[in-house]
Structure 1
């Protein structure tokens, strides 16, 4: 079941990454792809666009975090390996940002960092919870003495 969810989630992320215009999707318009053989990476490290972030800009960045947080959850469930899931997730995060200029979109370093933060956050949360559950189950396995009233 998780593998199907993972495939569908990756498919959704690719659509959101490679569509001609993200806001047109939000307005319910048809998904369109437009490819260029001459991508521009000029704004990848441009920090001027972050000077006065608007609410839609902040919400879009929160969406990046949530999407990749969910991706990490699904990767860990499917791969059953934290390190492999982390590597795949981080490579996918980088790939999505580097692919966007080929679709007339702007790949941004800040988006790469936010995507990575979503993956790292879930992975760390999973690791901490896994260790805590393991520690709790070890203490639950200690023999308990019964008191008897004679």
Structure 2
């Protein structure tokens, strides 16, 4: 295979990878959106059918309610864990796509805030404390990436010193 063919093949593979990364980020965002905007998560899990309701005049002051954080229902840990994990995964996917930790973190946190506010329009309880839980997942993902890179740099230094 000549140099031009190798270069063209490498370009096609790179383009295919970028396309796959785009699709993965979009699909993950859509999955998060279904969980976020569905009227009743419990019903979704039990019936496997999403129901959506539009509220054209939401109560924006409810975004700042903290009284219901202590109302633990059977799905509470799964729902809050889903917030944490879902946005951590989103942040990691965005980082892999963008190769920029700061950009991926900012986009993820903005998406978390945006979706919580939008929940108010879908008959759901969009809450500031859920943005905090989402952000904690995002920041843990940031920390994991930094640790991973730190370990990688240390390993590469050690290997290069041993040569």
* TM-score, normalization by structure 1: 0.87
1:13 aligns with 2:32: yes
1:100 aligns with 2:84: no
Greater RCO (CA < 8 Å, at least 6 residues apart): 1
Q: What corresponds to 1:33 in structure 2?
A: 52
Q: What corresponds to 2:14 in structure 1?
A: none
Q: Secondary structure at the match of 2:62?
A: coil
Q: Secondary structure at the match of 1:136?
A: helix
Q: What corresponds to 2:150 in structure 1?
A: 131
Contact 2:83 / 2:130 at 8 angstroms: preserved in 1?
yes
Deviation above 6 Å: which 4+ runs of structure 1? Answer: none
Q: Secondary structure at the match of 1:43?
A: helix
Match of 1:115 among 119, 126, 134: 134
Q: What corresponds to 1:57 in structure 2?
A: 76
| CA shift for structure 1 position 59 | 2.1
1:70 aligns with 2:93: no
- Structure 2: how far apart are the matches of 1:52 and 1:111? 14
| CA shift for structure 1 position 80 | 1.0
- Structure 1: how far apart are the matches of 2:67 and 2:143? 31
Structure number having the greater helix percentage: 2
- Structure 1: how far apart are the matches of 2:71 and 2:46? 24
1:22 aligns with 2:41: yes
Unaligned runs of 5+ in 1: 145-150
Q: Secondary structure at the match of 2:61?
A: coil
- Structure 2: how far apart are the matches of 1:51 and 1:5? 34
Give the count of matched residue pairs. 144
Q: What corresponds to 1:148 in structure 2?
A: none
